[in-house]
Amino acid sequence: MQKSYLALGCFWKPEETFRQLTGVIETEVGYAGGASSATNYEEVCTGNTGHTETVKITYDEKIISYEKLLEVFFKTHDPTQKDMQYPDMGTQYRSEIFYENEQQKNTAENYKNLFNKKLNGKIETNISKIKNYCKAEEYHQKYIMKRNQ
């Protein structure tokens, strides 16, 4: 099993999208990229922690590739918006790919370059080493799935 950490605006809808992909074993929403290893929604919403809302994806690389996850990532949000995904605004809604190793980093950079060519160099997506990921509060987990039951 592999893990991927992707930030693409409010984490509720992306979590639902990734959760439904064949080969995805588990999804979890949380906060990543900030200065502290522990935070909560209220702190992240201030914009002062450096965290962004992030989907943690555990997947079987024999069934779905990291490349496919990145393709879905770039196609399911607007990576040309800086520090927002309309109508949500703030650094906690930025577009960011967090990598665990050099292979993920290189693949992410290649995919960003590919989509950047298609979008005339307007991609605002950051690529960073994963740091200070922490799970979001339980009421955020599988939010859309719970609301549709």
Domain with 105 in it:
2-147
Expressed in percent and rounded to 5, the helix, strand and coil fractions of the chain are 35, 25, 40
Q: Enter the DSSP assignment of 39.
A: -
pTM of the model: 0.95
Question: Please, which pLDDT band fits residue 98 given cuts at 50, 70 and 90?
Answer: very high
Q: List the structure tokens of 72.
A: 């879905």
Q: What are the φ and ψ backbone dihedral angles of 87, each rounded to 5 degrees? A: -95, 5
Q: Rounded CA gap, 57 and 15, in Å?
A: 8
Among candidate residues 2, 3, 10, 65, the one labeled active-site is 10
Q: Are 16 and 145 in contact (CB under 8 A)?
A: yes
134 annotated active-site: no
Does the pLDDT value for residue 145 go beyond 90? no
Burial (CB count <10 Å: 0-12, 13-18, 19+), residue 117: exposed
Instruction: Indicate the number of domains in the chain.
Output: 1
pLDDT in tens, 112-128: 999 999 999 999 999 99
pLDDT in tens, 62-97: 999 999 999 999 999 999 999 999 888 999 999 999
Q: List the structure tokens of 110.
A: 């290649």
Here the CATH number for the domain that contains residue 81 is: 3.30.1060.10
